[in-house]
Structures are given as C-alpha cells and as structure tokens.
C-alpha cells in the first residue's frame, strides 16, 4: 500500500531548461529516451518541446543549389549526365542518356533517403 501525503503538482520548466534538454537530445548519438530519463521527464514531452522550440524555421523548403561550370560540360551535353551532391559525403552521378525513367528513379531514391 502506498500513502500519498502531499498533492502532486505539475512541474513547470523554464524556456532555458527546455532548450538545454532539447539540445542534449540533438547531440550525435543521443536518444530522446535516454535524455528524457536523465532529466526526469517523459520522452513525449521532449518531442513536444523540440517541436515548439523549432518553430517555423524547420519547415521543409528548398535547399540552396549552386550551378558550377564543369570542364567536361561539352562531353556531358552529348552523352547526358546527372550529378547530385548532398553535403560533402554523398554524390550520385549517372552518365548516359537521361530518359524520364532514369530521372524519376533518381528523384525517388533521393526522396526516400531524406
């Protein structure tokens, strides 16, 4: 049997505390569950705070694209070339005829990976 001697009240977190907890959850290798347990909150609360603190800035949008001159551009125009770089580690290059099926497959693969 458990005897409750006081009334349990909701905890109120300051914005600074919420930001600190959300920042800890965004660290590489951190999980929401481990961070929530470390700070004594429920994992759904960390998800909610992350969404609230993110605001409208994290809405999906267009990525910046840079069009650079390619020294092999003349050959690429006659052969066909699709090249997509994401960050510094991901590069996809498809040479040859760029038919509709190939372009659709590349776009679908990129969309599935994001």
Q: What is the pLDDT of residues 2-39, one digit of tens each?
A: 666 666 677 888 989 999 999 998 888 899 999 999 99
Domain ranges of the chain: 15-58, 73-113
Contact 93, 77 (CB under 8 A): no
Q: Which of 53, 55, 47, 64 is nearest to 15 (CA)?
A: 53
Question: What average pLDDT does the segment 65-76 reach?
Answer: 64
Contact 22, 53 (CB under 8 A): yes
54 band by pLDDT with thresholds 50, 70 and 90: confident
pTM over 0.85: no
94 band by pLDDT with thresholds 50, 70 and 90: confident
């Amino acid at each position: 049997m458990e005897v409750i001697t006081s009334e349990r009240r909701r905890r109120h977190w300051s914005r600074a505390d919420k930001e600190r907890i959300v920042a800890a959850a965004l660290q590489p290798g951190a999980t929401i569950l481990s961070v929530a347990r470390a700070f004594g909150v429920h994992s759904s609360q960390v998800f909610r705070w992350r969404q609230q603190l993110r605001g409208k800035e994290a809405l999906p949008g267009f990525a910046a694209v840079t069009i650079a001159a390619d020294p092999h551009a003349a050959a690429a125009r006659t052969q066909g070339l699709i090249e997509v770089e994401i960050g510094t580690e991901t590069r996809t290059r498809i040479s040859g005829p760029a038919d509709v099926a190939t372009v659709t497959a590349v776009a679908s693969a990129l969309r599935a990976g994001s």
